[in-house]
Amino acid sequence: MAPLACGQVGYPVASYPAAGPSHSGAVYPEVPAAGASYQPYAAPQPPILVPATHVVVCRHDHHHCHPERAACGSCHRVVVPEPHKESGLCACITAVGLVGSGCCILAWLPFCCNVTKDTVYRCPDCQAEITRRRAPFE
């Protein structure tokens, strides 16, 4: 045994294997220092791609639309029909509903409003009815 050098305390130490990965090939994560918070590993997430939104507004307006050209069933001519408003089933049902709800004094109102009247398309030559659009479905 070799004598201790000046200032050394204890016994001489045999050589130990060098520090590093173990001989089994396993690699372990580093241990965080004392007081450091542990954060688990999170794989980076791919960016979220949002497709562009296109808004298409379609308007189907029957209020000012009438047949451009139509064949009259009476005079067999191709004409541009003329629209006229006439009281129909919707006006009558609305009037009965007003009377039934106690508003007898307003029962005449559906017969004066174009909203409850049917649109009738007539031939300008012979005044025959070509087509009719019912009031609530116009």
Inside any domain, residue 51: no
Structure-token match 């808004």, residue found: 55
Residues 6+ apart with CB under 8 A from 92: 110
**What is the share, in percent, of the chain residues with pLDDT greater than 90?**
22
Mean pLDDT of 104-133: 90
Residue 123 lies in a domain: yes
Q: Do 117 and 135 meet the contact criterion of CB atoms below 8 Å apart?
A: yes
Pairing of β 82-87 and β 117-122: antiparallel
For the chain, how many residues are written?
A: 138
* Confidence (pLDDT) at 135: 82
Give the DSSP H/E element, type plus range, for residue 3. Answer: none
In a domain, 91, yes or no: yes
The model's confidence at residue 97, banded by pLDDT at 50, 70 and 90, is very high
Instruction: Tell whether 7 is covered by a domain.
Output: no
Q: How many domains does the chain have?
A: 1
